[in-house]
Amino acid sequence: MGSLSVNVNKPPLSEQTVLMVRDVTVSFSGFVAVRGMNLSLRQRELHFLIGPNGAGKTTMLDVICGKTKPLSGQVLLPDGTDLVRKKEHQVARLGIGRKFQAPSVFGGLTVLENLEIAQDPNKNVFHALRKRRSDRVTSSMEEVLEQIGLGHRLDIRAGSLSHGEKQWLEIGMLLLQEPDVLLLDEPVAGMTDEETDKTGILLTEIAKKRSVVIVEHDMEFVRHYAEKVTVMHEGKLLTEGTMQEVQLNPVVAEVYLGKRRGSDVVAEGD
C-alpha cells in the first residue's frame, strides 16, 4: 500500500487544469462580445473552441493572451496569477503562446533565421550567419524542425514557403518559446487537404506535451482531432464535451452545426 498510496490523491497529469477562464465579459464600446464565459484548460489537451461567426471565439483567445482586457472576470493560472492583470508580453512570458489567423513570419529571412529570432529575439542574425550551420541549429531547434517537418527548408526565405509551411514555421517559432498553452486561430484555413492532415498530426503531437486551444471552422477537422470541444454562441458557453457529445446537443445542431452543415452532423451520433 505504502508506495502505491503516494499518488492516489493526485489526479493524473492529463486531468490537471493549467488555465481557468472565470466569468469573463468583454464589451467593445457597449457591445457585449463575450458574456460571462467560463473555460478550463487541462494539461496535454487538444481543445477546440467552435461556434458560429461572431460567437466570441477570437475575442476569447485575445483575452487569454492579454491582447484584449475584459470588463470583468479572471484568467487564472494554477498558482493564482490572474493574466487579466498582465500585459500581453508578460502573458507570453508566463507560458501562453498565441498564433493569429494570418501567418506572421519574417518573409525576407530564411526558415533558420526566423527560428533563431524566435529562440532569441535579441540575436543578431547577420552575426549568426558567420557561424557554421551545425553550431546554429540548437538541439531544441532540431526537435522543433523534426515536428514541423521543415528541416530540409532551412535556407529558404520564409516568404517563398507555401501557405501551410509558413503556418508550420510560425507554430515552430512559438514552440521554441516553450509555452504551456498554445492558442491557434483557424490554423488550417486556406490549407490544402494534405497540409490540413499534416497540421492535425502536428497539433496532436504538440498536445502530448502542452495544452492546445484551437478555434476552428472546419468541422471535418474538429471531428477528426478534437479531444474536447467547447461551443460558444452569442458570447456565451453553450455546451462542452467530446465532439460526439456536443453534436448530440439539439441546441448546438440548431445554432451551428445543423445550420452550417446540414443534418448529417447530427445524424452521425444517432
Verify binding: residue 233, ligand ADP, rule CB under 6 A.
Answer: no
Q: What string marks each residue from 54 to 93 as x (binds ligand ADP by CB under 6 A) or -?
A: xxxxxx----------------------------------
Q: Is 63 within 8 Å of 84 (Cβ atoms)?
A: yes
Residue 59 interacts, among ligand ADP, Mg ion, none and using kind-specific CB cut-offs from 5 to 8 Å, with ligand ADP
Q: Which residue in 65, 71, 68 sits closest to 30, CA to CA?
A: 71
* CB 215 to Mg ion: min, Å: 6
Verify binding: residue 51, ligand ADP, rule CB under 6 A.
Answer: yes
Verify binding: residue 31, ligand ADP, rule CB under 6 A.
Answer: yes
Residue among 28 and 259 whose Cβ is closer to ligand ADP: 28
Residues lying near Mg ion in the complex (CB under 5 A): 58
Give start and end residues of each alpha helix (H) in the chain: 2-5, 57-64, 88-93, 111-119, 125-128, 133-136, 139-148, 163-175, 193-206, 219-225, 243-248, 250-252, 258-261, 264-267
Binding window for ligand ADP (CB under 6 A); candidates: 52-60, 202-210, 239-247, 255-263: 52-60
Residue 54 interacts, among Mg ion, ligand ADP, none and using kind-specific CB cut-offs from 5 to 8 Å, with ligand ADP
Containing 227, the helix (H) or strand (E) segment is none
Residue among 33 and 91 whose Cβ is closer to ligand ADP: 33
Binding window for ligand ADP (CB under 6 A); candidates: 25-33, 85-93, 110-118, 120-128: 25-33
Binding window for ligand ADP (CB under 6 A); candidates: 50-58, 79-87, 145-153, 154-162: 50-58
Q: Compute the distance between CA of residue 243 and CA of residue 43 in angstroms, rounded to an integer.
A: 19
Residue 230 interacts, among ligand ADP, Mg ion, none and using kind-specific CB cut-offs from 5 to 8 Å, with none
Residue among 92 and 189 whose Cβ is closer to Mg ion: 189
Residue appearing with cell numbers 497540409: 195
* CB 246 to ligand ADP: min, Å: 16
Q: Compute the distance between CA of residue 23 and CA of residue 39 in angstroms, rounded to an integer.
A: 9
Q: Compute the distance between CA of residue 263 and CA of residue 256 in angstroms, rounded to an integer.
A: 11
Amino acid making up residue 102? A
Q: Is 207 within 8 Å of 180 (Cβ atoms)?
A: no
Q: In what order do the strands lie in the sheet with 17-28?
A: 31-42, 17-28, 72-76
Residue nearest to Mg ion (CB): 58
Phi-psi region of 40 (alpha: psi -120 to 50; beta: other; left: phi over 0): beta
* CB 18 to ligand ADP: min, Å: 22
Applying CB under 6 A, which residues contact ligand ADP?
28, 31, 33, 51, 53-59
